[in-house]
Amino acid sequence: MSGSGSTNGDSTPNKVALITGITGQDGSYLTEFLLNKGYEVHGLIRRSSNFNTQRIDHIYVDPHNAHKARMKLHYADLSDASSLRRWLDTILPDEVYNLAAQSHVAVSFEIPDYTADVVATGALRLLEAVRSHIDASGRSHIRYYQAGSSEMFGSTPPPQSETTPFHPRSPYAASKCAAHWYTVNYREAYGIFACNGILFNHESPRRGENFVTRKITRAVGRIKIGLQSKLFLGNLQASRDWGFAGDYVEAMWLMLQQEKADDYVVATEESHTVEEFLEVAFGYVGLNWKDHVVIDKRYFRPTEVDNLKGDSSKAKEVLGWKPKVGFEQLVKMMVDQDVERAKKEKVLVDAGYIDAQQQP
């Protein structure tokens, strides 16, 4: 039995993908990527009091246009096992991408219990739903992707590869380690085609506003346009291997197209400090970051990850994957979009339609 997708021109059924975390940064890029490949994409979204689909609104087609809508959204939650099993049984996916997470490292120190429930136990719930779905339906061809993280390496020095020991430094990272090993265990115990992508930081103009890269580029845009003057940050000496999210979703897909399920590090193999990011971002629009950045202790973490730099030789050799967007290009792409956003915000502020968000 294969997925319930429509057919393409030569009457081969299109593949069906199920994505958790479809409303997040990676979910939006992965959806675009899979739709371009002809997939029917189903996304699980969680109920919120405000719309949370901004990142995928541009590809949303009202389901009443049934023949045109190839992305479909369903309510579920990684904390609700029954919803996960029900949607698997209904959608009959060929590929499942588990991207959902409470993904903010600093926030995981504030809500550790919830973070573990969604990131660790949530992955286990989904794997268990896949296992019992396969048992009941015989659909053993189904493939599973787990969104692992370079945060799992924590304090282990770079370069970090698939064989580098984990030493997590936050409740988020410890939970991702659990999800990693659940995935390995379900592959070994039940023969499920399950892969861990160990992805280093990847950013984009769609990155959440409270991750450091976007926090910086958003501030650069607003400072340049005159909507704020200061930017409060924590540790500027941390070093990260930053790539472009649009490149990284291709690696996720490639993992599920291999003959054998395996785990892969995905990284640019270049590392830069937060300070270097500031230099490029502010410098690009002719500003000096030192005139605007103020250090605020509240953004320091109880335990920091100092230095991440991946070794993605395996992904290069086996998947034939390599990043297309480099560090400076990424920073400039993000600044360009945030300057444009700030210009629009300024027009609305000047016209009295909105208040400038309170920032010094």
Binding mask of the shown chain, residues 86 to 105, with x at each position contacting ligand GDR by CB under 6 A: -----------------x-x
CA distance 42 to 49: 21
Q: 18 to each of 73, 213, 288, 327, how far by Cα in Å?
A: 10, 29, 45, 31
Which of the stretches 72-80, 86-94, 181-189, 257-265 binds ligand NDP when contact is defined by CB under 6 A?
A: 72-80
Q: 281 to each of 3, 224, 231, 239, 334, how far by Cα in Å?
A: 45, 11, 13, 16, 9
Comparing CA positions, the residue from 149, 147, 203 lying closest to residue 326 is 203
Answer for which of 6, 8, 12, 52 binds ligand NDP (CB under 6 A) is: 52
160 lies in the binding site for ligand NDP (CB under 6 A): no
Binding mask of the shown chain, residues 223 to 262, with x at each position contacting ligand NDP by CB under 6 A: ----------------------------------------
285 lies in the binding site for ligand GDR (CB under 6 A): no
40-45 and 143-149 beta bridge pairing = unpaired
The answer for 320, left when phi > 0, alpha when psi is -120 to 50, beta otherwise, is left
220 lies in the binding site for ligand GDR (CB under 6 A): no
* Active-site residue, 144 included: no
Interacting positions 301-360 with ligand GDR (CB under 6 A): 301, 304
CA distance 97 to 257: 13
Binding mask of the shown chain, residues 76 to 115, with x at each position contacting ligand NDP by CB under 6 A: -xxx-------------------xxxxx------------
CA 240, 225, 59 angle in degrees (round to 5)? Answer: 65
208 lies in the binding site for ligand NDP (CB under 6 A): yes
Structure tokens at 69: 């809508």
Beta bridge partners of 255: none
Residue of 95, 151, 250, 269 marked active site: 151
Helical segments of 157-207, H only? 171-190
Answer for which of 14, 20, 83, 213 binds ligand NDP (CB under 6 A) is: 20
CA distance 347 to 3: 47
* Active-site residue, 114 included: no
Residue of 103, 149, 271, 312 marked active site: 149
Residues near ligand NDP (CB under 6 A) are 20-21, 23-27, 46, 48, 52, 77-79, 99-103, 118, 147, 149, 199, 201-202, 208
Residues near ligand GDR (CB under 6 A) are 103, 105-106, 149-151, 200-201, 210-213, 215, 233-235, 238, 240, 274, 299, 301, 304
